[in-house]
Amino acid sequence: MSVPTGLKKVAVLCILRSNAGFLLIHRSQEPNLGKYVPIGGKVGPFETPRAAAIREVKEETGVSVEDVRLKGILTETSPTDFNWINYIYTADIAEVAPVKYREGTLEWVDRERLDGIPTPKTDRFIYDYVSRSEFFVFDAVYDENAELMTLVDELSGRTLFSKNQS
């Protein structure tokens, strides 16, 4: 059975934190080539989002975590096949040495440096809400080129980003 085009895929992101800041992947391939992103990946068949977050952290960093905390949900919709439901978790870990990974290089980024590095536009809002310990449900709409058009905080109804206003 084929999967219909545009069907939402389910993924997890896990923001790993320590006194050194956030452990992010500096991506060496698409998607998000050249950008810094949290650890993450697709939720597997018969797998819970929490279990996927724990598995992805182990696969991508070698770090075992059990205490991941759900911080929010990001839904991404586009007229292309870029359609996702992302469960966003955090985990506090001890500082580990960054390593090369098949999708890029793991790197510690301190909180002050986050605004000066390339990240997906949605991630800046995610880091802001996570730093304030505010649960979120974001709805992101993209155009056919995967450019962010709008980002809405579904819990408050506020538009956080609109390409027409930026």
pLDDT tens per residue across span 106-134:
999 998 899 899 999 999 999 999 999 99
Q: What whole-number distance in Å separates Cα of residue 91 and Cα of residue 152?
A: 25
Contact assessment for residue 52 and residue 42, using Cβ atoms and an 8 Å cutoff: yes
Q: Which of 33, 73, 36 is nearest to 53 (CA)?
A: 73
Element containing residue 55 per DSSP (H, E)? helix 49-61
Instruction: Indicate the residue type of 67.
Output: D
Q: Enter the pTM of the model.
A: 0.93
Contact assessment for residue 128 and residue 136, using Cβ atoms and an 8 Å cutoff: no
Contact assessment for residue 145 and residue 82, using Cβ atoms and an 8 Å cutoff: no
pLDDT bucket at 152, cuts 50 / 70 / 90:
very high
